Structure 1
């Protein structure tokens, strides 16, 4: 295992949504008890880890999350991130509790460009409305807010519109996640968009977000499919992120099937080979690699 700059503490797998493609489900199995969570924070901080994200499941329904945030702050972690579906942030007092405790980055997952699509995929009526209100409250209190937006066959044509809307709401960065068939999503292959179209959507989303001072980036679409725009692409390995689960299993983010890419023949001569992980293996199994073309080396 290489250098670790950030950990994501998966507090538990409980959630207030029933996302159709969730690989974790909403099991009530392993979870971090508060004392063990603090001990874990202490251990990794002593090892030089700088930043922490609290994830799940859904971390905002974890009892005592603000206390864990305070512990992370007192240990010197920075930034301190909450990765959430954003629904509980529709309550302004909870937003204030998290901010006062020391959280300074909020990353909200959004599965659809409208209520119909998002609620369907989230498995909960009213989820979109609550998440949208949560984003507005975060902006109102000056919180740095990012959104993980799911690019699927249902949303790819609307990526620019939602990027502009989110930027207007105060979101500073939109992470474009391409739908993955990993886990429960294995039965929903029709939601996977072609990468060529997703690449065009990323360009459109970046342009729309930029009009309002925000950015759009992705780790799932190779730069060769975004007109060579390396500024819109990042490799997950750059984060040096370790996922720490309550069951005792830890792994680097790039080892996850959600992130692991594979180089194809065209990548051998591509100018971006050193920075690009390539398409996911599952995508190549579904669609092949004809879309992937080597970007000329200058």
Structure 2
């Protein structure tokens, strides 16, 4: 599980423009019509929190918030009015400028949630559709790593194009001293169908994901996994956390999101898990229900499973070693 308590954070979408074209972007089709929160809304939220102290951290997100020229000013206002932390969600390209990194940190941004889509330049740039994006993101991470008081989180959306590289990605970033957490979000298409054919079978993804989890933990990172069946993770199930900070976003986003059809499972009525998103409509259409692999929990593993890794729902017949053959956010 992650080291950040989601209930301590509030997330506000302040920008809906991006200079990448990531094939997995969850708001690709709605970006042009989603309305970002106004500055007035942001300041109202800051004032509310100053009075009520409901949240410790503010997350500024949307599509690519570093495209806002006043980002540093907004961070300063938040920090000057009671927020202990300001986090930005970014693809990291603008962070390749060390002066810009220093400007943000000096303004009060102390947490950076950076999207890294793959372990090599060719794959990353193919996913983002922008040549040179990988090098800029890597340079940005290096710049952040040189600054005191910074916490780095990375996010990788797991798709057909990159899932076999997960262990190598963990190795690639192992030298970063300020990298405290790695998130792995299993792709969902924001639709009932996987038109781009990006969804990976859970059974094929599992060995790569588990290896990545173990390596990251060995390097001292916290790990957070999104949108993967909890029972399939077995002893690694505590890495799964589908909770999120309180999110303020254009309400027209939610009908699109609900098209995914989460929480479907043959064992839904029997399973006591309160953390699992089950399967979604597009996944079931492509790979089926996995009745022979999924297992219901008799009791909520959030409550009783933390002290023991001997899960009754583990899947010992699934390899934990990657074979040669082959769920803020997916927005960056």
TM-score class, shorter-chain normalisation, is: 0.7 to 0.9
Indicate if the aligned counterparts of 1:199 and 1:221 stay in contact, CA closer than 8 A.
no
Using the TM superposition, give the Cα deviation of residue 87 of structure 1 relative to its aligned residue in structure 2, in angstroms: 0.6
Whether 1:132 aligns to 2:138 is yes
Q: Secondary structure at the match of 1:150?
A: strand
Q: Tell me how far apart the structure 1 counterparts of residues 261 and 133 of structure 2 sit (CA, whole Å).
A: 30
Whether 1:266 aligns to 2:267 is yes
Using the TM superposition, give the Cα deviation of residue 63 of structure 1 relative to its aligned residue in structure 2, in angstroms: 1.6
Residues 236-281 of structure 1 deviation map (CA, whole Å, 9 limit, x = unaligned): 2xx4x23223x5x3889xx9459873142234444x5233232334
Whether 1:243 aligns to 2:244 is no
Q: Secondary structure at the match of 1:8?
A: strand
Give the 5 Å matches for 1:202-281: 202-236=209-243, 239=244, 241-245=245-249, 247=250, 249=251, 256-257=257-258, 261-270=262-271, 273-281=273-281
Indicate if the aligned counterparts of 1:12 and 1:59 stay in contact, CA closer than 8 A.
yes
Q: Tell me how far apart the structure 2 counterparts of residues 257 and 198 of structure 1 sit (CA, whole Å).
A: 24
Indicate if the aligned counterparts of 1:200 and 1:225 stay in contact, CA closer than 8 A.
no
Indicate if the aligned counterparts of 2:190 and 2:257 stay in contact, CA closer than 8 A.
no
CA distance 1:180–1:20, shift in 2 (3 Å):
same
Equivalent in the alignment of 1:293: 295
Indicate if the aligned counterparts of 1:178 and 1:220 stay in contact, CA closer than 8 A.
yes
Q: Secondary structure at the match of 1:181?
A: coil
Q: Secondary structure at the match of 2:100?
A: helix
Of 18-27 and 49-58, more deviation after overlay is shown by 18-27
Indicate if the aligned counterparts of 2:90 and 2:114 stay in contact, CA closer than 8 A.
yes
Equivalent in the alignment of 2:325: none
Q: Tell me how far apart the structure 1 counterparts of residues 230 and 25 of structure 2 sit (CA, whole Å).
A: 27
Equivalent in the alignment of 2:123: 117
| Unpaired segments ≥5 residues, structure 2 | 1-5, 300-311, 313-332
TM-score (norm 1): 0.85
| Richer in helix (by share) | 1
Equivalent in the alignment of 1:99: 105
Q: Tell me how far apart the structure 2 counterparts of residues 192 and 96 of structure 1 sit (CA, whole Å).
A: 38
Equivalent in the alignment of 1:40: 45
Indicate if the aligned counterparts of 1:5 and 1:48 stay in contact, CA closer than 8 A.
no
Equivalent in the alignment of 1:181: 189
Aligned residues: 287
Q: Tell me how far apart the structure 1 counterparts of residues 216 and 261 of structure 2 sit (CA, whole Å).
A: 27
What do you get for the CA RMSD once the two structures are aligned?
2.9
Indicate if the aligned counterparts of 1:267 and 1:294 stay in contact, CA closer than 8 A.
yes
Equivalent in the alignment of 1:15: 18
Question: Paired residue for 1:6, among 9, 14, 17?
Answer: 9
Indicate if the aligned counterparts of 1:69 and 1:80 stay in contact, CA closer than 8 A.
yes
CA distance 1:256–1:222, shift in 2 (3 Å):
same
Of 279-288 and 116-125, more deviation after overlay is shown by 279-288
TM-score (norm 2): 0.77
CA distance 1:199–1:296, shift in 2 (3 Å):
farther
Q: Tell me how far apart the structure 2 counterparts of residues 258 and 42 of structure 1 sit (CA, whole Å).
A: 34
Residues 64-115 of structure 1 deviation map (CA, whole Å, 9 limit, x = unaligned): 1011111111221233111000111111111111111111211001222211
Equivalent in the alignment of 2:203: 196
CA distance 1:284–1:261, shift in 2 (3 Å):
same
**Larger RCO, structure (CA 8 Å, separation 6 or more):** 2
CA distance 1:296–1:200, shift in 2 (3 Å):
farther
Of 13-22 and 274-283, more deviation after overlay is shown by 274-283
